[in-house]
Structure formats: structure tokens, C-alpha cells
Amino acid sequence: MIRNIINLTKVFLISSFSRGGNRKKKNNIGKIALYAVLFIYLAGVFGYLSYEVLSGLIAVKQEEAFIGLILMAIITLVLFTTIISTMNVLYFSDDNLFVLPLPFKPLEVLCAKLNTLLIYVYMEEMMLGIAPLAMYGWMTKQNILYYLFMVIVLLLVPVVPLLLVTMIVICIMALTRGIRNKSLVQLITMSLSVIFSLMISMVSSSMNTNEDVMAMMNKAGSLVGIYKKAFVTMPMAIDALTKYDILSLILLIVISLAAYALVSIFAQKLYYRGMLGSLYSSSGISDKKLNEKSYQSKGLMFSYVMKEIRVYFRRPTFFVQLILPCLLLPAFTIGITYFSIVSQMGEELSAGLDFIYADSDFSGYVFAVLILLVMFISMYSFISTIAVSKDGHDAYAMKYLPVAFHRQLICKMIPDIAVCLLSYAVVAVMAMILFRVPLIHVLLSIPVAVLYSILHGFLILSDVRRPKLDWTSEIQIVKKNMRMMFTMAYSLLNMGLVAVLAFILNMDLYVMCAILSVLYLALDVLLYRYIERKDIALADGFE
Amino acid sequence: MIEFKNVSKSYRKGIKAVDDLSLTINDGEIFGFLGPNGAGKSTTIRMLTGILNIDEGQILLDGKDIEKEPIEAKKTFGYVADDPDQFLALKGIEYLNFMADVYNVENRKEKIQQLSEKFEIADALSSRIESYSHGMRQKIVICGCLMHDPKNWILDEPMTGLDPRSSFDLKEMMRKHADEGKCVFFSTHVLDVAEKLCDRVGIINKGKLLFTGTLQEMRDTFEENASLEELFLEITEND
């Protein structure tokens, strides 16, 4: 049985990380290097933050409270990410269809799934847990025993919270005989994770001073007390790390293992009941009757654009990774900036803004800030850079349908342009309401925003030459697309141009508007002529 | 009418996936394109439909060159690919409306209703294609392909996944289409179907067209009164 569990765990992990496609050794080394760099970067960030917090706590001899805070953060992360990943790993994984006909016991499958979830948690915990706890050990001059205890605690602390969430999900799924709408579940869980990430950014950016940090720490301290009561293993983990309490460590080990065993044994039948109920997704099934409107023609271009938009909105990964950030980012960015400035300047903000808007020397700066915001937001719109790749093998239809290739490209660019413009509309409205930006600046920014957004849409040219059509999971396209670097570099280049015009050459808003409008109009026309002339030759990259 | 004139295609230097293919499929006939796996059938069909560029030669559909007049040539055919997993995010009705817009189909409502009822998928049109079974996906693709009543039908393994009723209906439609003076070009691995349905067959192996003609001509050539399956195996094994 143990061997089956280990083998199944390996298979689930390998299939979730590889997800099809050719894996070249070269790419793997590159990926490992990239992850190593990312880990070092994040470890550095968390290590630095921990140093700042610990310095304050050590000064008031409250350093042991830091352990409680870190463990609370780990448990919160485990709770949140387990909610998101449990559904996908336990119920909506493609592995289930392959595993069920094989002679594995439900207990073995459930244990392997739990191990898979645990390993996901460990990977996230590595970034959040190791650096702060190691920093504590270094700053409080702990001995080798501390680091040994640290490793054991990091392995065991996530177990009980993970099992708690998993048990709740298993019971719900068993009682409701499974939730069949996989797309809806993925959409909700992924949207929550994006919103959660943005909220974390908002909170951390509001901590500008040491006083803000200590105020936050005091609030967090009271939460630690609640967590200690809710999760029985947390006090044991804290005692093990702060007092080298061997008994607490043993209890932590025993309780974690016992919880794992109990949940696995009691939940196995419930798990299968829910799993079998959700095997075939009901996403997309509808018994609506068709009517006259169902057969109406809306024109080729409209029809094509709607086809594109439907894919972005009906695929949770595309919606959450491509559409949602662009729609939420403006509101969060402007909101964070406004509250951050207000918290520092208070009533002086209003007077400051009046001064800026009254002086015509600053008109160019205000206009430039609006345009920079357009470009900043468009930096996070990757729709055009995957517009062809996202179709997978459907992209070949572009070559045999009797529609000019360049017209198909334009249709594929439109969702990107629309999202950029919609995001800018939100920015403009919020800027007018919160920062009282004069109407003339907003009106003059509109043609530049429109023309720039169209230019941004032409980033599709980076995809059409060599689209990645062989993918089995949408996340491969969204997350592993190096062309996103083009989008960022391209936006930064344009931001640099605007910065030079406004802050170095000190142009006023009318001159800037004229220059940028003419420039982007010329580029748009040139690129349109280019794709019109090249047409189907642009598709030589995918055969 | 479909014409291949000295068509060649290479994926790698020195290795031709299709080697100097010359072939004419006349109006009024069902032409079966047969060959083992990796013979060059899909490459040929992809060049015919414009998915792949031709290295050498020319392909004409009703006299229109697929490379020089691509839009006009593409309007003359309806293509069913061997992979029916297409446009999964769209509802059946959305896919059919999209195809109707692409091909500028008049009377779309009648066409959609007629085809969807014929293939018994009318009740599923308001659901997304991703919720369809394999066979239903094949049917919706066939409906989309036939909606604009193209003169040339290009079908790549069209029977795969179809239930017996739908398979029978499709074969009847193919026969009727050819009898009306139009052209059907299809590839299949099911030689029984090819034997009963095709007016002529072409056998390709390792990029080369080994035989073109009727089944009787094949029997006369090899002086054997064997089935298509037996003759096919003999032709391809001897190559």
C-alpha cells in the first residue's frame, strides 16, 4: 500500500507539472534556473522584511511573538491556497479518469492526492516560511537544534489546516454528490486568488512607516491568539521553536500523523462519492430553447470578434489571468495611490492639486501622468501576445477559412484594444473623481489612449510568426509565454518616450498630445499596411 | 474539380512527405484517398486546404490556385479535419452561426435546422461544444462544413466517432453530392467504406502515389479478384 501511495503521488505530481508538450533538457535547466532566481529574490524580500520587523520586536523584547506571526501567516496561506487547489487536485484533475479503472484502493488514491496537496503547500511555504524563520534564528543567535526543529515544524504545521479544509470540501462534495460545473468553480477560485493578491498588495503598500508596521503587528498579535485556539498544533509548534520543547515537538508529530491517518481512513468513501459525482463536468450544458434571435447574422467581423471574446470569458484561466487583472488593476492602483497620498498629506493634497492644475507649466506633467497610466496598465494586457496561441490547433482554421488573414488578425486584436481602453476609462474616471484632474487633460488623452491601444494590439505580430499551438493546459500559454516580456519592454519604451517629452523637454499638453497622436497614428497605419500586404504570408510560422 | 499538379512537400532536407503528386478528382465522383500511417495523406489534405505551403507544384480547386487566389479557392470547399475538437468554447449554434457568417450563408436558419436534425444534434445546439461527446463534435463540424453547400467536400476521416445512423446518413449525403455533379475527396482507414462508396481510389505511401483508379482497374492491374483491403496491403507492402 505504501508503495502504491508513493507511486501515485509521483504520477500526480509529474502530470500536474509537465502537462504535455515536449520537454527539452535545455528548457528544464532554464526553468530551474528561473525558479532558483525567483526563490532567491522572494527569500531576499521576505528576509529583509523579517529583519525590519524583528529589529523592532527585539528592541521591546517581544521577538518570540514573531514566531507566532510567521506560523499564523503560513497557516493562513495554507488555508487559502488549499481552498483553491483542493477542488482541482481532488475532483477536477484529468488524472481521475485514468486512475479509477486501475486496481487502487480509495485510501491509496486519497492519500496520494493529500500528499500532492501537501507538496504544493510546501513549495509555497518554502518562500514564505524559510527566510523569516531562518532570519529569526540568525538574529536571536539560535543553535543547530533550532534549525532542525524549524524543518520539522515547517513540514508538520501545514498538515492540520490542510486536512481541515480538505475534510470540509470532501463532505460538501459528498453531500451534494459533486459539483459539476468545473469552469464555474475554477473561475471563482482563481478570481478569489487574484483579488486576494491585490488586497495583500494594497495592505502592504499602506505600511509606509515603522509606526504603520507596529500598528499592524499589534492587530496581528490578537489574531495569533485566535489561531492558537483554532489550530491545536500551533501552540506546540511555537513552543518547539522558542523553548526547544521536545515534548511539544513529539506531540506535534503525533497529532499531525494521527490527523492524517484519521482523515484518510474516514474520508475515503466520502471522497469517492463526491469524485464520481463530479467526473463529467456540466460546464456548458444548457437546455435553452433556440429562438429567432439565435439564427441572426451579425456580420462577419462582429461574429469573429465575438468568437474571440467568448473564448476569453469562458475559459477561467484566460479570464482570470488576462482580463481580470486589467479590469481590477486600474481601480487598485489609483485607489492605493490616492489613499497612500491622503494618509501622508491629508488636507494638503487638495491645496497641492489646486496649485498644480492652476499652473500651466505643470499641464504637460499632468497629461503625461495620464498617458503613463495608460501605458502602465497596458503593460499587463497580454491578450494580443497570445491571441493566436490561445486557439491551439483551432488556429489552423485561420488558414483554411475564406477570410483574409489580416482581417482575422484585426479581429483578434480587438479584445486587447477594448480591454486597454476599458481600463483607461476606469483610470480616467477615477482620476477625475479622486484627483480632480481637469476635463481638458482627460479629453486630450483620449485620442492618444485610443491610438496607443491600437498600437498595443499589433503586438499580435510577436505571436503570429511562431505561435505555440501544442498545449494541453491553458496555463502553459498564459504563464510560460516569454512574449510577455515584449509587452513589458514595449510599454516601458513608450513610457520612457512620454517621460522625456514631459519631464525633460517640458512640452505642454497640446504639443504632447499632437506629437503622440501623430506618432501613434503613423505607426498604426504603417503596421496595418504591413499586415494587409503580407496577409497569409504572416502565417508561414505555423503549419 | 480538384487538381494536383506535380505537388511536393518536404519537412526536412531530402525527405519528401509528398513527392511529385499529380492527381485529378473530377466533378461527380467520390474519391477515396488511402494510405498507411505517415504516408502523406494528411500533408496532402493540408496543402489542399491551404494549411500547409506547397514546396513545388500547384493545386487548383475549380480552376483556382490555392496559393495565388486563396480566398476564392477556399470558398469552393468545405473541410472536415480529422480532429473534431474545435471551437470547444462556443455553443453549437454559435459555431454554426459563425460558419454561416464566414461563408455568407443565406437561409441559415433552414440550413442549420435541416443539418442539425439530420445528424440529431438539434437539441444540443444551445450547449457548448466542449460538453459534446466525440461523435457529437464530429457531427457539429460536419454541419459547419456543409452549411454553405460547397461544391468540393474535403473530408479527413469523417466517419470516426459517428454512430451507425449518422455514418449511414453521411455516406448517403456524399453519394447524393457526387451524383449532383460535385466532388468529394475523403481519406479513410476504413477500407470497407472506401470499397463500397468510392468511385475511384488513390493509394499513397511514403509520399508517392502508388495507384489511382477504380477498384476494378486495381484488380485488373494486379490480376487478382481480391478485396480492396487485400489489394491495398499488397500494394503498400511491395513498396
pLDDT tens digits, one per residue of A34-72: 667 777 777 777 788 788 888 888 877 777 788 888 888
Q: How do strand B56-61 and strand B64-65 relate by DSSP bridges?
A: antiparallel
The better pLDDT of the pair A182, B170 is held by B170
Q: How confident is the model at residue A186, as a pLDDT? A: 66
Per-position DSSP letters for A431-496, written without gaps between them: HHHHS---HHHHHHHHHHHHHHHHHHHGGGHHHHSS-----SSHHHHHHS-THHHHHHHHHHHHHH
- Tell me which residue has cell 502504491: A4
Query: For the sheet containing B2-12, what is the strand order?
Result: B15-25, B2-12, B56-61, B64-65
Residue A452: half-sphere exposure toward Cβ, Cα within 13 Å = 31
The sign of the torsion formed by the CA atoms of B150, B156, B157, B160 equals: negative
> What residues of chain A lie within 8 A of the CB of B81, using their CB?
396
> Burial of B197 by CB count in 10 Å (0-12 exposed, 13-18 middle, 19+ buried)?
buried
B49 to A310: CB separation less than 8 angstroms, yes or no: no
Of B102, B125, B126, Cβ closest to residue A402: B102
For A382, residues 6+ apart whose C-beta sits below 8 A from its C-beta are A321, A322, A478, A481, A483, A484, A487
Of A304, A310, A540, Cβ closest to residue B53: A540
Chain A interface disruption, residue of B43, B49, B51, most A CBs within 10 A: B51
Alpha helices in A100-245 (DSSP H): 106-125, 131-139, 144-156, 159-175, 182-205, 210-230, 233-243
Determine the average pLDDT of the residues in A509-535.
95
Percent of chain A's residues with pLDDT above 90: 26
Contact between residue A398 and residue A405 where contact means Cβ atoms under 8 Å apart:
yes
Cα–Cα separations (whole angstroms), residue A176 to A90, A169, A172, A273, A284? 15, 11, 6, 10, 19
Determine the average pLDDT of the residues in A297-308.
94
Q: Report chain B's mean pLDDT, rounded to a whole number.
A: 91
Q: How many angstroms separate the CA atoms of B34 and B211, rounded?
A: 10
Q: How many angstroms separate the CA atoms of A463 and A390, rounded?
A: 10
Contact between residue B211 and residue B221 where contact means Cβ atoms under 8 Å apart:
yes
Give the tens place of pLDDT for each residue, B101-142.
Answer: 999 999 999 999 999 999 999 999 999 999 999 889 999 999
How far apart are the two ends of chain B, measured CA to CA in Å? Answer: 29
Where residue B53 falls (left for φ over 0; alpha for ψ -120 to 50; beta otherwise) is: beta
Q: Would an 8 Å CB–CB cutoff place A285 in contact with chain B?
A: yes
Q: How confident is the model at residue A22, as a pLDDT? A: 45
> What residues of chain A lie within 8 A of the CB of B71, using their CB?
402-404
Interface of B with A (CB under 8 A): 46, 49-53, 70-72, 74-75, 79, 81, 83, 85-87, 89-91, 93-94, 97-98, 100-104, 108-109, 112, 123, 125-131
Q: What cell does B209 get?
A: 502515389
Q: How many angstroms separate the CA atoms of A110 and A101, rounded?
A: 15
How large is the ipTM?
0.91
Chain B interface disruption, residue of A285, A290, A540, most B CBs within 10 A: A290
Number of A to B CB contacts under 8 A, please give it.
102
Q: How many angstroms separate the CA atoms of A386 and A395, rounded?
A: 11
Buried/exposed code over A359-373 (b: 16+ C-beta within 10 A; e: otherwise): eeebbbbbbbbbbbb
Determine the average pLDDT of the residues in A59-87.
81
> What residues of chain A lie within 8 A of the CB of B129, using their CB?
284
Phi first, then psi, for residue B56 (nearest 5°) are: -140, 150
In sequence order, the β-bridge partners of residue A348 are none
Nearest chain A CA: its distance from B121 CA (Å): 12
Q: How many angstroms separate the CA atoms of B28 and B1, rounded?
A: 9
- Tell me which residue has cell 497580454: A382
Within 253-282 of A, beta carbons closer than 8 Å to B belong to: 281-282
Give the tens place of pLDDT for each residue, A306-315.
Answer: 999 999 998 8
Q: Would an 8 Å CB–CB cutoff place A288 in contact with chain B?
A: yes
Contact between residue A542 and residue B50 where contact means Cβ atoms under 8 Å apart:
no
Q: How many angstroms separate the CA atoms of A453 and A450, rounded?
A: 5
pTM comes to 0.77
B93 to A283: CB separation less than 8 angstroms, yes or no: no
Q: What cell does A465 get?
A: 510568426
Q: How many angstroms separate the CA atoms of A374 and A171, rounded?
A: 47
Per-position DSSP letters for A58-100, written without gaps between them: HHTT-THHHHHHHHHHHHHHHHHHHHHHHIIIIIS-THHHHHT
In sequence order, the β-bridge partners of residue B4 are B23, B59
Percent of chain B's residues with pLDDT above 90: 70
Chain A interface disruption, residue of B52, B128, B129, B185, most A CBs within 10 A: B128
Q: Residue B181: pLDDT above 60?
A: yes
Residue whose C-alpha is closest to residue A426's, from A328, A356, A500, A513: A328
Band of pLDDT at residue A20, cut at 50, 70 and 90: very low
> What residues of chain A lie within 8 A of the CB of B123, using their CB?
287
CA–CA–CA angle A293, A297, A298 (5° rounding): 100
Q: Is B65 helix (H, G, I), strand (E, B) or coil?
A: strand
Q: Is B205 helix (H, G, I), strand (E, B) or coil?
A: strand
Q: Would an 8 Å CB–CB cutoff place A23 in contact with chain B?
A: no
Name the residue in chain B with its Cα closest to that of A405: B71
> What residues of chain A lie within 8 A of the CB of B100, using their CB?
297
Residue whose C-alpha is closest to residue B113's, from B70, B162, B147, B77: B147
DSSP state of A288: P
Q: How confident is the model at residue A23, as a pLDDT? A: 46
Query: What are the domain boundaries of chain A?
Result: 2-277, 300-541
For A326, residues 6+ apart whose C-beta sits below 8 A from its C-beta are A377, A380, A381, A419, A420, A422, A423
Determine the average pLDDT of the residues in A407-426.
94
Give the tens place of pLDDT for each residue, B5-59.
Answer: 999 999 877 788 999 999 999 999 999 999 988 899 999 999 999 999 999 999 9
B97 to A297: CB separation less than 8 angstroms, yes or no: yes
The better pLDDT of the pair A442, A484 is held by A442
Q: Is A157 helix (H, G, I), strand (E, B) or coil?
A: coil
> What residues of chain A lie within 8 A of the CB of B46, using their CB?
543
Band of pLDDT at residue A273, cut at 50, 70 and 90: confident
Buried/exposed code over A98-113 (b: 16+ C-beta within 10 A; e: otherwise): ebeeeebebbbbbbbb
CA–CA–CA angle A317, A318, A321 (5° rounding): 75
Q: Would an 8 Å CB–CB cutoff place A295 in contact with chain B?
A: yes
